[in-house]
């Protein structure tokens, strides 16, 4: 089992797509184990996007990501980091294939609706940035025997 961090960005909230996006993760069989709405401060944005702070487009990204409420969540599942990234599609909604979240709902490189951690180190760092250990509510869904075979783990 693996956990990854997702963030429904301000465009997702403003466009009333939160429910549809969360439904896609639920329908896939992923387990949501933490979730909260918050407003990202410029300080948090710089920590979250530390790898991009020096980029020419960082200022615009910070204005976007701090420009409205977001929803942070932790989802759990087999290979969850890779599975979620595949569900998001390429960074730009113009490149992401149809059938992915960005491919289906976004026509923008910046306003691409959802963030997902890009690897195990990023997942650990981002989960710790947004959540206390006590805010994570792990549980075993009763439907688990109907989501995968018992030897798939
Ligand atoms: O989110 P992802 O890992 O796919 O992309 P990234 O290259 O790590 O960039 C982080 C975020 O910055 C993207 O999801 C976009 O919202 C934004 N971005 C942007 O505003 N302009 C760019 N030229 C590239 C990315
Ligand atoms: Mg990235």
Q: 91 CA to middle of ligand 2, Å?
A: 8
List the domains of the chain with CATH numbers.
2-139 (3.30.70.141)
| Cβ-proximal residues to 78 (8 Å cutoff; 6+ apart), any chain | 1, 2, 148, 152, 153
Give percent of the chain with pLDDT exceeding 90. Answer: 99
CB 114 within 8 A of CB 102: yes
Q: 104 CA to middle of ligand 1, Å?
A: 17
Establish whether residue 57 lines the binding site of ligand 1, counting it when its CB lies within 6 angstroms of any ligand atom.
Answer: yes
Model confidence over 25-42: pLDDT tens digits? 999 999 999 999 999 999
What residues does 70 pair with on adjacent strands?
Answer: 38
Model confidence over 54-100: pLDDT tens digits? 999 999 999 999 999 999 999 999 999 999 999 999 999 999 999 99
The three-point CA angle 11-15-16 to 5° equals: 120
- Atom 14, ligand 1: which residue's CA is nearest? 91
| Cβ-proximal residues to 35 (8 Å cutoff; 6+ apart), any chain | 71, 72, 73, 74
Establish whether residue 110 lines the binding site of ligand 1, counting it when its CB lies within 6 angstroms of any ligand atom.
Answer: yes
Ligand number, closest to the Cα atom of 126:
2
Confidence at residue 153, expressed as pLDDT on a 0 to 100 scale: 81
Stated as kind and residue range, the H or E segment containing 123 is helix 120-130
């Amino acid at each position: 089992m693996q956990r990854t961090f997702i963030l429904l960005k301000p465009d997702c909230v403003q466009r009333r797509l939160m429910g549809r996006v969360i439904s896609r993760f639920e329908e896939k069989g992923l387990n949501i184990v933490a979730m909260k709405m918050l407003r990202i401060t410029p300080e948090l944005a710089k920590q979250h996007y530390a790898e991009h702070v020096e980029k020419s487009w960082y200022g615009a990204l910070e204005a976007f990501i701090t420009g409205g409420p977001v929803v942070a969540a932790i989802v759990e599942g087999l290979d969850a980091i890779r599975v979620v990234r595949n569900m998001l599609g390429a960074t730009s909604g113009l490149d992401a294939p149809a059938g992915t979240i960005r491919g289906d709902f976004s026509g923008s490189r910046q306003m691409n609706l959802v963030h997902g951690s890009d690897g195990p180190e990023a997942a650990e760092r981002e989960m710790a940035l947004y959540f206390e250990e006590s805010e994570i509510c792990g549980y075993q869904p009763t439907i688990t025997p109907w989501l995968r075979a018992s030897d798939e783990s």
